Structure 1
C-alpha cells in the first residue's frame, strides 16, 4: 500500500502520514456499507435527521482546535480564516437541520381523486425522496466549507443520503480528522454504520464515481478534472447526476461615475477581493472593467500601488503555485495583456506577491480570459458600455458578475445588468463577490463552465440536487410517507391546488 504524504505550503516541507491510498476492493466495501445505511436512513423521520445534523455541528465544534491546527499546516491559510470557515460548516449543518424540520423543501403535493375539467381524476400524491449514496469530492481551497464537512456533505445528508467523501490530496490529515469528527458524532447519535465513508487517492476517486451504488456526485475543482469525472459517469451502464463547480472568472464592472466618486474605496475593495485567501476563491473577480480617462487611471494607480507594496502570500500547493506562473505568462503572451505589477516569489514555500495586468477592452479575446487561481487581476480599460458588451462575449460564463455605479447612473446600470444576466448565477451591486452567504436565498452556481447545473451548491436549496420526485397514485394510506397522508401534518404542502401551512 502507498503511504500518503502531506506538505506544509508555508515551507514546502513534506512528511509521511499514517494514511494509505484506498484500493478498489475497499472502495467497493465502503459503498456497500453506504448502500445498507441508505435503507436505514430512509426509514427515519425528519425530526431524527434534523437532530443528526445538529449533532454533527456539535461534533465539529468539539474538535475545533485540532481541526484548525491540522488545516493550517496543510493549507497555509491563517487561523482566523480557518476558524471562520469551520464556524460556517457548523452553521451549514444547523441551517439544513432547520430546513429538514420545516419540511417545505420536500414539495409535498396532494391531488385528491375527483372530477376534473377533463373527467374523473385519480388520487395523486407527490414528494421529493432521497436519491441514494452520494460521492463528495473535497476542494483544496476550502478544507472545511467545501470539503469533508462542507455544503455538499451537509445537503446530501439532509436529503437523507449517506455520503462517501474523496479526500483532497492537499489536505489528507485535515480530511481524516474532519471525517473522524463526523463519524464519532454520528455513531454517538445512533446513525447507522456507513452513513459516512472516505477514500484516498486519485484511482479511488475514479472507482468511487464508477461504482454502481453511487447515485450522484458533488465536485468542486478544476474544469479539466470535472470533465474526467463526467467521462467516467458517461461510461457507466446507468449515468448519474454530476454536480460540478468548475471554473469562474467573475467579471466586475466599474462605471465612470463610480470610479470618480469612490476611487480609493474601490481600489481597496477590489484589491482585497482579488487577494483574499491569496486569490484562491472561486468568486474572485479575475477580470475588472475600469473606464478609460483620468478617474480610471487614478483607480488603476491605486490598485497598482497596493499590489506593489503587498507581501508574499502562501498558495495551497505546488501545482497551483506553478500553474499561476504558467497562466500569467499565457495571458501576457497569447492574450496580449500588459504587466503592471509582476509577482515575486516569496522566500519559502509556495508563496508569491500579487500581480496586475491591463488590456484594452477592444483587445479582449478568449486568450485573456483563462482563470488564474491566485492573487492576479486583469484590468480591462473600456470607453463605452458597448465595448463592455463585446468584451463580455469572450468571457466564459461565471458564478458572479459585479456592477459598481452611482445612484444617477440608472441607464448604465440597467444596460450592464441586461448584459451580464445571461452569463452568471448571481449579480452583485456596489459590493464584491468574494464571501458567499449561507442562506435560503443564496444561489452559488452559473451557466457552464461555472457549473454544469442549474442548482446551487450553497444555501438551503442545494438540498434539491440530492432528491428526486416520486408520485403515488391511488395508494393505500399505509404505504404513503407520513407527509402525504390525510390529516394534520408538520410541514407546508399543496392540497388540491391550495397551499396549506404546517398544522393544517
Structure 2
C-alpha cells in the first residue's frame, strides 16, 4: 500500500482541497513526500453525517460481529508489514524496535477490546423482576449500557500507532459501539493514512456501515475545533498538551449540547526516593534510562524527583550525573516539540535557586534533545508554581527536602498526575505508609520501586489521574476500563419481551453475566 496523501471518509480515500501539508523527517528537519490535502468544512460534514447514520446499525450488531471487526483491524494492520514501520520511522525519528513494539501493543489492545466485547460484562446487564404484589407494585426493570454516539479521536504526537488512528481511544470507542472520526496528527500523516486505510478495509470486510470510521486531516485549531463542535459528535478522546485539551474542553462545554472530553494532558510523574532505597546502586542507571527513553517524550516520564537531604541523596546525585552524562542526545518527534523543549529547559535553568547537576551529551543534529537533571530546595519548589510545569523531554527536577515532613508537604503540594512512584525498602515502611494515602489522592497509578514509563495494556491498568493530568479522574485511556468512557446506562421499564435487546432477554441468548434481582448470574 502506497502513501498517496489521502484521508478516508466513509470508506473512500480522497484528497482534501483546502491547502496542503507535508510530514517532516525530524532527523533531517526536512519535508517528506507526498503532500496531504486538508479537509474542508464539507468533508467534515460528510464524515459526521455518515457517522451519525452508522451509529444505530453499528451499535445493534451482535457482540461477535463487533469483536471480530476489532480483530480484523488488527490483522489488516499487520498486513501492512514493513512499509508501516519504515514510514513511521521516517516521520518520527523513532527506532525500528520501538515502533515494532508499539505496533504489537496497538494490535494487542484491539484484541483485548475484542475480548471485552465478547464477554459482554461492559454492558452491565441488570434485571429487577416485577413485584406486582408489593405495595406500591414494582415494575419490571432492566438496564444495559449503550454507546454514547460518534466519537472524535485526536491522534497523539508521541505514539504514532498506539495512541493514534487505531489506538486505544479508537479501539475502546469502537468496542463500545460508537463510530469514530479520527483527526490525524500532522506529525505522522503517512503512518496515519496507512493505518486509516487498514481500518477502512476492515469496515468493508466486516459488512459494516461505511460511516463507522473516517479519518480527516487538518489543523487542530480549525478542523479539530469544528469536529468537536459538530452536533453529531457525542464524545472526544484526546492525548496531548494541557493547552490543547483545555481548548477542546471549552469548545465542548459551550455547545448547545455539551459533551464529555476525555483528555489526557500534562503530568510530571513525581518519584519519591526514600532513604532506604538510595542504597540501591542500580537506581541511578534505572532513572537515567527511564528519563531518556524515547527522548523523554512520554506522558509518564519522571519529570520530578523528591528526596531528603543527606549523604545518601548526594551519592545518588553523583552517580546519576555519570549515568546521564553517558547518554547521547536523541532525536525528538517534531521541530515544534524540540523548540518547546529547549524553551522549557531554558526557563527552568533561569529560575533563581535551581541548579544544574547533570547533563547528557550535546549534539549539533537537528531536533536532538540533550538530557538534564536540575535540583532545587523544597522550600523554593513549594513557593514557585512555575517549577511544576511539564517539560516534554529528557529533563527532570530533583526537589531536596530537609526532612520527612517537607517531603510529605511536597507530595501534598503537587498537582494531579498520571503516575507517582515510590522507591523504598522495609526500613522506609513508616514514611511510605504516610505517603501512600497522599498519592492515592494525587495520581492514577502508584508504583513501588519502578518508573512510570511503560503502560501495560491490561484489565487492571489506570492511565489517568486527577486534573490536570486528565480532564476526568474517574476514567482511564488505557486498559479494559477505557471502554466505560464511551458508554451510558439505559433503563427499560415494562418493555415487551419482543422489543427487548438480546442482552436483557429472559433466556439470555448471548449467555452474558448479568445481575438478576441483585445476584450475579453467569450464563443464564
TM range (shorter): over 0.9
- Equivalent residue for 1:311, pick from 302, 309, 328: 328
Deviation of 1:343 after TM superposition, in Å, equals 5.8
TM-score (norm. length: structure 1): 0.97
Q: In the alignment, which residue of structure 2 is the partner of 1:486?
A: 506
Kept in 1, the 8 Å contact 2:92–2:188? The answer is yes
Corresponding residue SS for 2:187: coil
The reply on whether 1:496 has 2:513 as its aligned counterpart is no
Q: Deviations over 1:424-472 (max 9, x none)?
A: 1110011111111101111111000000111110001100111110011
Judged with a 3 Å threshold, the aligned counterparts in structure 2 of structure 1 residues 469 and 286 are, in CA distance, closer, same or farther, namely same
Kept in 2, the 8 Å contact 1:130–1:468? The answer is yes
Q: In the alignment, which residue of structure 1 is the partner of 2:497?
A: 477
Q: Deviations over 1:474-497 (max 9, x none)?
A: 100111110101124411010011
Judged with a 3 Å threshold, the aligned counterparts in structure 2 of structure 1 residues 42 and 201 are, in CA distance, closer, same or farther, namely same
- Equivalent residue for 2:463, pick from 434, 444, 463: 444
Q: In the alignment, which residue of structure 2 is the partner of 1:172?
A: 189
Corresponding residue SS for 1:414: helix
Q: In the alignment, which residue of structure 2 is the partner of 1:67?
A: 84
Deviation of 1:332 after TM superposition, in Å, equals 2.5
Q: Deviations over 1:49-79 (max 9, x none)?
A: 0110111111111113111111111111111
- Equivalent residue for 1:327, pick from 341, 344, 350: 344
Cα distance in 1 for residues equivalent to 2:213 and 2:62? 19
Segment drifting more, 22-31 vs 342-351: 342-351
The reply on whether 1:246 has 2:265 as its aligned counterpart is yes
Kept in 2, the 8 Å contact 1:6–1:171? The answer is yes
The reply on whether 1:9 has 2:30 as its aligned counterpart is no
5+ long unaligned stretches in structure 2: 1-17
Cα distance in 2 for residues equivalent to 1:69 and 1:210? 35
The reply on whether 1:24 has 2:46 as its aligned counterpart is no
RMSD, aligned α-carbons? 1.4
Cα distance in 2 for residues equivalent to 1:13 and 1:436? 32
Q: Deviations over 1:323-371 (max 9, x none)?
A: 1121122223236321123466522220022111111122213121110
Q: In the alignment, which residue of structure 1 is the partner of 2:143?
A: 126
The reply on whether 1:459 has 2:479 as its aligned counterpart is yes
Kept in 2, the 8 Å contact 1:133–1:215? The answer is yes
Judged with a 3 Å threshold, the aligned counterparts in structure 2 of structure 1 residues 14 and 116 are, in CA distance, closer, same or farther, namely farther
Corresponding residue SS for 1:357: strand
Segment drifting more, 369-378 vs 31-40: 31-40
- Equivalent residue for 1:278, pick from 295, 303, 318: 295
Corresponding residue SS for 1:121: coil
Q: In the alignment, which residue of structure 2 is the partner of 1:295?
A: 312
- Equivalent residue for 2:444, pick from 419, 425, 447: 425
5+ long unaligned stretches in structure 1: none
Q: Deviations over 1:203-241 (max 9, x none)?
A: 111111111111100000000011111121122111111
Q: How many residues align?
A: 501
TM-score (norm. length: structure 2): 0.93
Q: Deviations over 1:387-410 (max 9, x none)?
A: 112223442210110011112321
- Equivalent residue for 1:356, pick from 370, 373, 389: 373
Q: In the alignment, which residue of structure 1 is the partner of 2:275?
A: 256
Corresponding residue SS for 2:419: strand
Cα distance in 2 for residues equivalent to 1:106 and 1:362? 49
Deviation of 1:116 after TM superposition, in Å, equals 8.3
Judged with a 3 Å threshold, the aligned counterparts in structure 2 of structure 1 residues 327 and 167 are, in CA distance, closer, same or farther, namely same
Deviation of 1:17 after TM superposition, in Å, equals 2.2
Q: In the alignment, which residue of structure 2 is the partner of 1:151?
A: 168
Segment drifting more, 292-301 vs 83-92: 292-301
Cα distance in 2 for residues equivalent to 1:194 and 1:302? 56
Cα distance in 2 for residues equivalent to 1:217 and 1:210? 10
Judged with a 3 Å threshold, the aligned counterparts in structure 2 of structure 1 residues 356 and 194 are, in CA distance, closer, same or farther, namely same
Kept in 2, the 8 Å contact 1:249–1:395? The answer is no
Kept in 1, the 8 Å contact 2:124–2:145? The answer is yes
Deviation of 1:172 after TM superposition, in Å, equals 1.0
